[in-house]
A and B are shown apart, each in its own frame.
Chain A
């Protein structure tokens, strides 16, 4: 594990922002930190980034205590804040040069890194322009680029796609995947469930300062006992056969949408859906089409917390 947190707590006066969380972040993975506003995500990553000292608990980077010695993690950490943390009146190049310099890069090495990073973030043709003239998406990309200059082992991204166009968002997600392919560990927080689903191998769901679920997406869905919805359309009315559907194994509920349409809710286990469809086929009642909607992290989150991610 590259980062380990044990019973990590942080309070601001009477406010318990993080309440005894345990994290184990494997090296070389993209780890999602999910939670609504005020869940404690930003405070958690601020503690890992050494911006806040934990009130109690342990925090290790590669086995070294970074509460006692924050210097162990600093050179290996790339931090992408939630907001655009750049000098707007300077050019993209000047920003990269300055922040690279803070990590001890200089001369030819710095130039090489700037070239490499600007290629990764896809902004090399606009580097000489002032940041204030960039679009929101370009600013976000430079914001990420700054964190990559010193080739860190761990990159923390705090909601890096807020407020940008789909094209820039896709580019950023591709960048994250690319970094992961290069062996980087990425800690990624987001409000956007689909982003986490698309890129994260492991997910921690936070609420009220605690981690309420953790694991791979599949295991989280299984743990949550969320339901799969099967939308069915027939060539004739089937309302009078509702009881028949209810008796199929693993069917949890049946509801009619129209005379010839219904939705069946089943357990989230992958085999359940196959068995149900097969059973319906054997009933010879003129099935025209079906659509299976699997449970996602959004539903898992809803089930675990009783509220949506963006509430």
Chain B
């Protein structure tokens, strides 16, 4: 009887500690999301967005807006938030993107706009970092990025990364 109690207790303690360690706060990893998950921002422009294995591009002659989710794991408060947006432009064109952060109640709280490439050229691959300061981004906030990409397949949005 004592033997079984000891075994039972050990089993319960080990199992409980295992479960506790699983449910505790964990270090998050960066989340890379391909640009193929981006979508047309305006309903009437769905047919203008074309997808390739390494991202999304615009087949219309005029610039078009793409909206992409920026998946992020809830983080400890006070850490701020860092994202990367990656793409490519041809023929001296540029891409303008705005990263938005909004609360789980739907209120947009922060945004940061950039234009890439800084020096346009015939074929420029770019990688842009956006960082929001500590205390400006809450634990459960969502993030998205809106990009205006050039027409005639002159720009491709490769993807986005949440640094966790």
A binds B: no
Residues of B at under 8 Å CB distance from A? none
Residues of A at under 8 Å CB distance from B? none
